[in-house]
Amino acid sequence: MRTLSLLVAFICILPLHIGASEQQVLGNLSYNEAAQQFVPTCLLELVGSIEGIDQKTLPHEVKIPVDIRKRIVRTRDFVDLFAFALPDSKIDGRDGFRSLRDDLDKGYELVGEFKDLYDIQRSRNPSNPVYDEKEVHEKRQKVLKWRNQFLTEISIYEDYLKKIQPDQIYLRDKRFMSDFFWGVSETHPLEGELAQESFRRLLSDLLLAALEEWPQVNAIKNPAKNTSSIETFHDFRKRMRTVLKVVSYFPELGKGFEKEDFYFLENLIKQYGKISDQIVSLEKARERDQNSEELKIKRRIRKSWKELQDWEESQNVPAWIRRLYTLL
């Protein structure tokens, strides 16, 4: 009973962007058993989200009240997490894992570009957005084309996921795996291994990779001026974001974390995310030859980056990463 109480208390301090319905209990499930249980369910939840997209859908409506892009990300995350449990059978002549992941990637990209038409506006009030109708139409048509194609393939993907075996590990070429999940790791899940053990190793490898990247990230002076540096801090943010998401999806993995650890991760990811959004706005301003707006955004990026670096110095980011590593 005390263990259950501690788990409930722990769930209450999890990041707000992961709802209670999205949290899963791994318990004594093996890696493959967890894949059988969670991946198909996640895919079905995504289907329910995208079915409502139609010719009248506006950019803010793929974000509010349900952020469809985040649903796509969650499904892709679970595909990445359980990549070694997914069968090596073919779909239309291609590896089923890569086919499913590529489809999710495409949806993530297209829905994101559509949603950006809302995100780049100064006012985030969905009651009075101002859109370029031609631009909205063009990007919505791309989303609908992806949606329709994806929905026609759902039964194929459902049959594919039914082939997950309770104890079969399929080794895959790391070149085709996400660098923000198993692609960064030298290891892989073992047959019969508890999912918790597999994921703790993955999270440890992600934190070590982020720690190794930190000096290059910290050396960046102004991402608005040096756009080649964007990928460096973007990759660092993605690794740290994966750590936060995985311990949020599966609360047992972060049971040693304190509130302060979650706040650190959330603040770090949020501040880098804010700058990423500003860079998207900067690129849009350049595309539209909005020179005065471009200068304003550059100033905002410079200010945000200075604030972030001051905060990081006060927090001692490498020490925090090492601490999280010891808590897994």
DSSP labels for 229-278?
A: GHHHHHHHHHHHHHHHHHHHHSGGGGTT--HHHHHHHHHHHHHHHHHHHH
pLDDT given for residue 238 in this prediction? 96
Q: Which amino acid is at 142?
A: K
Helices (H), 120-194: 133-161
How many other CB atoms sit within 10 Å of the CB of residue 39?
A: 21
pLDDT given for residue 123 in this prediction? 60
Tokens 């370029």: give the residue.
132
Q: What is the pTM assigned to this prediction?
A: 0.88
Containing H/E element for 90?
Answer: strand 90-91
Nearest to 11 by CA among 2, 1, 21: 21
pLDDT given for residue 224 in this prediction? 84
Distances (CA, A) of 284 to 113, 241, 273, 281, 301: 11, 25, 17, 5, 14
Domain ranges in the chain?
Answer: 1-20+194-328, 30-171
Q: Was domain 30-171 assigned CATH 2.60.120?
A: no
The CA-based dihedral angle spanning residues 67, 9, 314, 201, taken in that order and rounded to the nearest 10 degrees: -80
Is residue 159 left, alpha or beta, with left meaning phi > 0 and alpha meaning psi from -120 to 50?
Answer: alpha
Q: CA–CA separation, 114 vs 10, rounded Å?
A: 36
pLDDT given for residue 18 in this prediction? 59
CB 243 within 8 A of CB 318: no
Return averaged pLDDT per consecutive 10 residues of the chain, 328 residues in all.
41 49 87 98 96 96 92 97 95 91 97 91 71 95 98 96 95 91 94 97 97 96 81 95 96 94 97 91 86 90 96 97 97
Which residues partner with 95 through β-bridges? 90
Q: Which amino acid is at 259?
A: K
